[in-house]
Amino acid sequence: MEPIQIAEGVFDVGVTDWNIRDFHGYSTDLGTTYNAFLIVDEKIALIDTVREEFAGELLDNISRIVDPKKIDYVVSNHTEMDHSGGLARVMHRIGEDKPIYCSKMGHKNLPQHFSRAWDYHPVSQGEELSLGSKTLTFVETRMIHWPDSMFTYLNENQILFSSDGFGQHYAGPERFDDEIDDATVLHHAKKYFANILMLYSTHIQKLLEKVMGMGIEFKMICPDHGIIWRKNPQKIIDAYVSWCRQEPQKKAVVVYDTMWHSTEKMAHAIVAGIKQEGVPVKPLHLRKWHRSEIMTEVFDAKAVILGSPTLNNQLYPSLADFLTYMKGLKPLNKIGAAFGSYGWSGEAVKLLNKELEAMKFEMIDPGLRVQYVPDEDSLEACYELGRKVGQAING
């Protein structure tokens, strides 16, 4: 990625990772970017770095603007290695004595990743750093999404450097929201929220209320991944306000796996019943759809219906994987039900019910079990379960 000037004296010097397809369990089918920002004033500051393997490219980008040795300050908004992995190479190049500004938790966490005696400057909420004619203000955003996370605001240009917040795992020729259609960028932003930030919805809601209450204006929001919001930063703020509420849509998903297509036949009969009630619904086969795509669908669905065969008295392994993933993300305001085919013991439905109840799903049915292959009556029962789900969604 070529460095680009995004405002007077402010440059995006980040890199594009075109080839990453799995970001610790999140499908990144189009790759992603690691954005980093250089502010050139009387003093020069670098905000965030990139993954370690891209540090050379970052330094090349910086070199096209200034000699990296002229950087006076490094700001670390977030310790996670996609933004700090390049720190050691950057510090080696710019000078190991250069100060690193980070949150108080960043001051605890960075040394646990890098055993170097760097000159850390832990900052407080609202603390400022003057670069000359420009001023940085640090905003603590603890647990959005790591304890060390913070935002940095460039007062004079009204630019927010928002770390992971408002980001998207998206790599393309576009750099700004006015170069890409809203549906595409918002889809990737929603996927990011659903898979990385959803469990912190309440924190994010409070932060947004606090920031909006402070009357801070944003001309531009620069996340560390994906597209920069400059045409209409309010659009992504409004989307976050809505997403934080986790208000479900009139929509259902039927998430299942199958051994010999019996549970799949049940899934399709349930889907037909839901459709009959006029509710949009998708059947999602767990070994055909990536869990992070499924979670994006789950995010705004009112009903999540799970189907699993029984294998060796247990859930099918893909269901166990998905339940672990979904449980960690803490979806709210869902209704649920379970179904599955079995051969002789048939524990899967009971196990699914238990997991969904633990996640505080409103269970609308005790669940459907079918021995071996569903016959006409069994499929009719599945269809009726689907209708019940559709009716519950319609309220």
Binding site for ligand FEO (CB under 6 A): 78, 80, 82-83, 145-146, 164, 224-225
Rounded least distance, CB 147 to ligand FEO, Å: 11
Of all residues in this chain, which one has the CB nearest to ligand FEO in the complex?
80
How far is Cα of residue 13 from the mean position of the Cα atoms in its chain? 23
164 catalytic residue (yes or no): yes
Say how far apart CA 395 and CA 393 lie, in whole Å.
5
How far is Cα of residue 104 from the mean position of the Cα atoms in its chain? 24
Residue tagged active-site, from 2, 24, 97, 377 = 24
CB closer to ligand FEO out of 197 and 284: 197
80 catalytic residue (yes or no): yes
CB closer to ligand FEO out of 146 and 153: 146
Residue tagged active-site, from 200, 225, 257, 290 = 225
Rounded least distance, CB 224 to ligand FEO, Å: 5
Say how far apart CA 301 and CA 210 lie, in whole Å.
28
Residue tagged active-site, from 83, 107, 145, 188 = 145
CB closer to ligand FEO out of 224 and 277: 224
2 catalytic residue (yes or no): no
192 catalytic residue (yes or no): yes
238 catalytic residue (yes or no): no
Rounded least distance, CB 23 to ligand FEO, Å: 8
CB closer to ligand FEO out of 83 and 93: 83
- Alpha-carbon distances of 320 from 17, 314, 317, 372, rounded to whole Å: 31, 9, 5, 21
| SS3 track for the chain | CCCEEEECCEEECCEEECCCCEECCEECCCCEEECCEEEECCCEEEECCCCHHHHHHHHHHHHCCCCHHHCCEEEECCCCHHHHCCHHHHHHHHCCCCEEEEEHHHHHHHHHHCCCCCEEEEECCCCEEECCCCEEEEEECCCCCCCCCEEEEECCCCEEECCCCCCCCCCCCCCEHHHCCHHHHHHHHHHHHHHHHHHHHHHHHHHHHHHHHCCCCCCEEECCCCCEECCCHHHHHHHHHHHHHCCCEEEEEEEECCCCCHHHHHHHHHHHHHHHCCCCEEEEECCCCCHHHHHHHHHCEEEEEEECCEECCEECHHHHHHHHHHHHHCCCCCEEEEEEEECCCCCHHHHHHHHHHHCCCEECCCCEEEECCCCHHHHHHHHHHHHHHHHHHHC
Rounded least distance, CB 236 to ligand FEO, Å: 16
365 catalytic residue (yes or no): no
Rounded least distance, CB 80 to ligand FEO, Å: 4
Residue tagged active-site, from 12, 17, 48, 82 = 82
CB closer to ligand FEO out of 65 and 81: 81
First CA to last CA distance, the chain: 50
CB closer to ligand FEO out of 33 and 308: 33
Rounded least distance, CB 79 to ligand FEO, Å: 8
CB closer to ligand FEO out of 9 and 14: 14
Residue tagged active-site, from 153, 192, 200, 256 = 192
Rounded least distance, CB 162 to ligand FEO, Å: 11
181 catalytic residue (yes or no): no
Residues tagged active-site: 24, 78, 80, 82, 145, 164, 192, 225
